[in-house]
Amino acid sequence: MEHLCPATTLFPEVPLIDLSKPDSKTLIVKACEEFGFFKLINHGVPTEFITRLESEAIEFFSLPLSEKEKAGPLDPFGYGNKKIGSNSDVGWVEYILLTTSNEANYQKFSAIFGEAAEKFRCAVNDYVSAVKKMAYEILEMLADGLKIQPRNVFSKLLMDEESDSVFRLNHYPPCPEHHQEMNLIGFGEHTDPQIISVLRSNNISGLQISLKDGNWISIPPDQSSFFINVGDSLQVMTNGRFKSVRHRVVANSSKSRLSMIYFGGPPLSEKIAPLPSLMKGEDSLYKEFTWYEYKKSAYKSRLADNRLGLFEKI
């Protein structure tokens, strides 16, 4: 498995956004321009939903592998272990991938959990509904901060019934002893293809982001906060003003890291293009494409690929 150069331990302050403060919209815009990433406090997601889902996830990942594998293989939803995507990417991680829109997901889980599958389903639904609401709010603040109308230009894409959003639970097991000093890769570097990603983890470190100069910085974990990533689609909709952030997870801990991520994507038929109100006479940096076309191409790529490259105008 791949080993990495360590990230710098001296890091600039990652933007901290307090959702309860009235001036946050300007700061969010700045954070999306400079980092494509920020930390969020006073987010309004009930702690109860977070802890309930966390204990459900711990329960699932503690099952014997043979049980968990009954929720696989990924098609493309279900349980996955070490293999990421369809192109031989691997990481020191096991995970559950779910759509946020249909219930077909849970058939596999009923087979394993029996009646407890309902408890799992409710925990995911409560958590995802609360996180979605918070994501809508952030996207509306972004529209306000960018001074564009209507304020739901971004959020309506996630609110749409056909929104192609994904939910992921990642478990990074402790590294075996002989690997501990080696910065083993948990989840290789990549950008997220969707509009926005909302991540919450337990208090175990591992997440790193790449700065504009290419240096990597470690993000100190904080189980009571959320971390927001700009995705490739938002980069395109802002004609490159916001950058989708390259990030990775290093599995260098003796404890388990657990993360839960909501990836807000548009409906498959949606055209992804820079918003005219943001162009001010500029040309689009990107060829026109639908989310379906982008996703199809993205899912064929390797994790670390620059997926937007294919859609840039030369």
Nearer to ligand GA4, 154 or 263 (CB): 263
Q: Can you tell me the distance from the alpha carbon of 200 to that of 4, in angstroms, rounded to the nearest whole number?
A: 24
Q: Which of 121, 257, 302, 307 is catalytic?
A: 257
Q: Which residues contact 18 (CB under 8 A, 6 or more apart)?
A: 24, 41, 42
Cβ contact 18:222 at 8 Å: no
- Sheet of 78-84: strands edge to edge? 16-18, 37-41, 226-230, 196-201, 257-264, 166-172, 89-99, 78-84
Longest dimension (CA), the chain: 58
**Catalytic residue at 257?**
yes
Nearer to ligand GA4, 183 or 197 (CB): 197
Interface pick for ligand GA4 out of 53, 71, 141, 303 (rule CB under 6 A): 303
Q: Strand pairing of 16-18 and 37-41?
A: parallel
**Which x/- pattern over 25-64 shows residues binding ligand GA4 (rule: CB under 6 A)?**
----------------------------------------
- With CA atoms as reference, report the closest residue to 166 among 257, 76, 244, 249: 76
- Binding of residue 299 to ligand GA4 (CB under 6 A): yes
Nearer to ligand GA4, 278 or 310 (CB): 310
Residues β-bridged to residue 163 = 267
- Binding of residue 146 to ligand GA4 (CB under 6 A): no
- Binding of residue 94 to ligand GA4 (CB under 6 A): no
- Binding of residue 306 to ligand GA4 (CB under 6 A): no
Per CB under 6 A, contacts with ligand GA4 among 229-288 are 263
Interface pick for ligand GA4 out of 89, 94, 140, 164 (rule CB under 6 A): 89
User: Which one-letter DSSP state was computed for residue 3?
Assistant: B
The 3-class secondary structure across 148-160, one letter per residue, is CCCCCCCHHHHHC
- Binding of residue 171 to ligand GA4 (CB under 6 A): no
Please give the residue whose beta carbon sits closest to ligand GA4 in the complex. Answer: 85
Interface pick for ligand GA4 out of 166, 204, 209, 250 (rule CB under 6 A): 166
Binding site for ligand GA4 (CB under 6 A): 84-85, 87, 89, 97, 166, 168, 190, 192-193, 263, 298-299, 301-303
**Residues noted as catalytic:** 257
